[in-house]
Amino acid sequence: MISKKGNIIFPFLAELKPNIQTYRSKYAAEFIWLAVGQFLTLLLSFISIKYLTSIGPKDYGLFVLLTSLTSLASSIYFNPFEQSYVRYLFENSSADDQQKMFLRKFLSGIARSVGLTFMLFLCIAAFSHFSSIGKNYVSVAAIVVIVLPLANQPITGMLNALRLRKTVAMIQVTEKAIQVMLFIFISKFVTLTLSLVFQTIGLVFLTSLLLRLYFIRKYCVGIQTPHNARSQLLAPTLPQQLFHFMLPFIIWGIFGGLQMNGERWIVESIMTTSEVGRYGLAFSLISSTAVVSNTIVSQFFLPFIYKAFSSKEESRQQEGKKLIAIYRWSIIVIFVGFACLFGFLGDDVIRLVSTKDFSVGGMFMFMLTLGIGFYYIAQVETTIGLSLCKTNIYLVPKIIASLSSILLYFLGCSFGKLNGIALAVLCVNVGYLYWITVVNKKLLAEHHELSRNEIVSNESPLIM
């Protein structure tokens, strides 16, 4: 007998009663691989941070500013690209050859996008070297560190969608382990500098990209369909479907990138680069703990949620909604827990992984963790619209939150320094979450009414 709870957590187990124990073990194993991989990555990240921050608050602040461009580019294009392909993977996997063609299209899109992004940043770097802007630290190595994660992230997302949890865990742990070993080796002979940090991390990112491509390759080769019939494997309307799904995400990403990264540049303009370094380390600790935990839960639940909503059956969509509820409460517990932990022990953790020069205070850590948490809780709520392919409904909340964030970040930093920034992050994301909740309430009411009308229409007798 399958419990109701088991059906909610693993909604596809109801179809698999003869092999219930086997499949329950399989899903548990997937989650364990995700958790173990992220936990080992977390431990290695703490060691890596120790070496990264050894270059000092000022140079680490420059590192934080430059790598924030990765997050901005990801928000604007590469995350929407990943989300669209992951969303439509299940609808283009009815046959083995169809899935392979779909993934080939996915990889070719990444190659073109990353190539163009690299050329764009190369032009910016060339311009900076002929001007007074950033000529001391914008380099080819820095560009590699900025650009390569833009390829690694969507491929990791697709590997997770294909439920290759063990592979993803191995790649992530290997990447961090190589980075730590290189830092240890280099530090034995020379003092780490910002330039050496970029060169080392660039080499690591290149290695991890090759690993990802190696593991995903077998899902893209060996198509049996004749060449003249391959165009029929994917629907002619697929590019339009992907574009329409991505477009609101791209607009959303422009403003979301400002909302999640703009505060660092405001701190740089009002305070000092060293303060950016202190803020960046605090943010990195939150990212390495609470955000990583969010990633584990997200990567586990999203494929199941999207697959449930890909079905036309109302019962399967209801299971998807129950999964979103569990997903939501998991993220709430994670961020509230880490906010309390950092509130009491924030500076102790900072001194453990770095030096007292990076101390920021427990109240700052508490408010910043909660602020970031409210953002990710809001992202969970947007899963409802994404699952129903209603990505445009969140544009207005995102735009308003982003524009208001710039003003609040500026006021917070001007009057409250780092604590003011943390309070501004908290206020912006509380408002953002509230607005997303209001939008979802309206969306679900409309969806419920539409579903009820379809049921009534199907049950109505034919009038002769």
- The token pair at 311 is 């079905």
Q: What is the pLDDT of residue 115?
A: 93
Q: What is the pLDDT of residue 138?
A: 67
| pLDDT-derived band at 151, boundaries 50, 70, 90 | very high
Decide if 459 is inside a domain: no
* Number of compact structural domains in the chain: 1
Within 8 A by CB and 6+ apart from 391, the residues are 245, 247, 248, 249, 252, 385
Q: Average pLDDT for residues 30-37, to the nearest whole number?
A: 76
Decide if 18 is inside a domain: yes
What value does the mean pLDDT of the chain take? 82
Decide if 170 is inside a domain: yes
Distances, alpha carbon 85 to alpha carbons 54, 158, 257, 309, in Å: 39, 8, 21, 15
Decide if 462 is inside a domain: no
Decide if 457 is inside a domain: no
Is the predicted pLDDT of residue 189 greater than 80, yes or no? yes
Decide if 458 is inside a domain: no
Which residue range forms the structural domain that includes residue 260? 8-223+237-451
- Find out whether 436 and 381 touch, Cβ atoms under 8 Å: yes
Give me the DSSP letters along 12-44: TGGGGGGGHHHHHHHHHHHHHHHHHHHHHHHHH
Model confidence pLDDT, tens digit, residues 413-463: 898 889 999 999 999 999 999 999 998 888 878 766 666 655 545 554 544
**Other CB atoms within 10 A of residue 161 CB:** 20
| pTM of the full structure | 0.76
The closest alpha carbon to 280, from 44, 59, 72, belongs to 59
Decide if 117 is inside a domain: yes
The closest alpha carbon to 245, from 82, 447, 435, 432, belongs to 82
Return the minimum-mean-pLDDT range out of 21-35, 100-114, 379-393: 21-35
Whether the CA torsion 61, 62, 68, 70 is positive or negative: it is negative
The C-alpha atoms of residue 419 and residue 263 are separated, in whole angstroms, by 12
Return the minimum-mean-pLDDT range out of 7-21, 229-243, 278-292, 404-418: 7-21
Model confidence pLDDT, tens digit, residues 59-70: 888 898 888 889
